[in-house]
Amino acid sequence: MFNYCLKNGGIMKLLIGPHQAFIMTEPDECLIVANACMNKPYLYEFGKDCYGRGLVTAKESTWKPHRKLLNPAFNLQVLNKFIAEFNVQARELVSLLEPKVGKESFDVQPYLVSNSLKNVCRTTLGFREQDQIMVDKDYAQATENLFHLFGERIPKFWLHVPFLYNLSSLKRKENKLTGVTKRVINGIIKKRRSEMKLNSNYEMNSDSKSDKFKPLLDQMLELAENQDAFSDEEIREHLDTIVAAAFDTTATSMTYTLLVIGSDSVMQERIYKELKSELGDRDVTKHDLPKLVYLDAVLKESLRLYAPVPLAARNVDSDIQIRNYTLPAGSTCVFSLYGINRHSMWGADVEEFRPERWLNPETLPKNPNAFATFGIGKRVCLGRSYSMMAMKTTLAHILRRYRVFGDINKVLSRSDILMKPVTGHHIRLELRM
């Protein structure tokens, strides 16, 4: 559908029963609508019981003040303090992968999911090793199943009617899964608040000059205590949103990236030489990340062609004129992030995996909105820099230790809420001497 729209004028109308939806692939037109209409369409309300006031699903009236409060938690000074933890988890991942060296191909995604989940739990929730078991199994599985459930509901338009959905077996499944996620996160919030009250000098509550990071949960609890900024339910919804949005998308992106790298030995050797030149055998630091320019280019090109989130959408609040079309109030506008990333402004080789395009500004589109993997407009992903830092650090450790083999051309993907590989995505590892 997105490819058809891309090749036939960049805008098309889709009828979902009586409801009008407009698919768009022109970056500037998407930006106009994205910034004029800040509320998400009713489809996002499918996740309201779990993620209601989180940044992805919140209404504009909630999103604006909460985004402003959360922005400082994702500035570069804060994120740089997470790199030490990214290194710790990357080293553990490399060790866990070692038994696979020299063996037959295997599915690397579960290893990457575990790594990404640990990263986000340590930095967002402030977990220590003994806490991790709380989310490693039940929470992660429940979150993935919720995404499958939302994806199953979308094409069954009769289940868009709340009354009918509330009578369905899908709703019963959702209630069960949401109960799991709420129980886990509410338990974490309660435990964390008790620890902070018991010890006002709690080790994670470090000042801004310390090298220790302050988890997002601590910052939100302090805002709740000192400024009455969040209720416990709002904190839970934000944490659920951030954890769910971070670990699965990051793991999926790294899976595609490793497959691409494993398909091109020349590209892989160039990355390896850069890593050895800039890092040697030591951990990654905040000063190293900007120097890993080729790894950065490969990762961005992978994110362009294999964006884990293929679309975003807005509710059209008032009539908007786009060219000779009117998007009527009450309709839905779907931004094809997949389509924007494949727009003709990327050049005749738009479908080719060519990281070199990122090394020369002259070969990139002049339009800054042409790269839309992290969204478009004011509601762009808050965790973009966090995700890039975590992925680059993790990939640096893997590719410095192992030679990867895979075949991106054999990969078949599916999309529920996220785009994920379902077959042909196994890789093989060899130890670098």
3-state SS string over 313-333? Answer: EEECCCCEEECCEEECCCCEE
The Cα diameter of the chain in Å comes to 63
In angstroms, the CA 302 to CA 295 distance is 11
In angstroms, the CA 390 to CA 254 distance is 10
> Who's near 180: CB < 8 A, 6+ residues apart?
138, 139, 142
Hey, CA dihedral for 123, 201, 73, 147, is it positive or negative? positive
CB–CB of 108/102 below 8 Å? no
CB–CB of 378/34 below 8 Å? yes
Rg (CA), the chain: 22
Phi-psi region of 40 (alpha: psi -120 to 50; beta: other; left: phi over 0): beta
Number of H helices, E strands in the chain: 17, 11
381 labeled binding residue = yes
Burial class (CB in 10 A: 0-12, 13-18, 19+), 361: exposed
CB–CB of 275/371 below 8 Å? no
In angstroms, the CA 156 to CA 165 distance is 10
Binding residue positions for heme: 381
Binding residue positions: 381
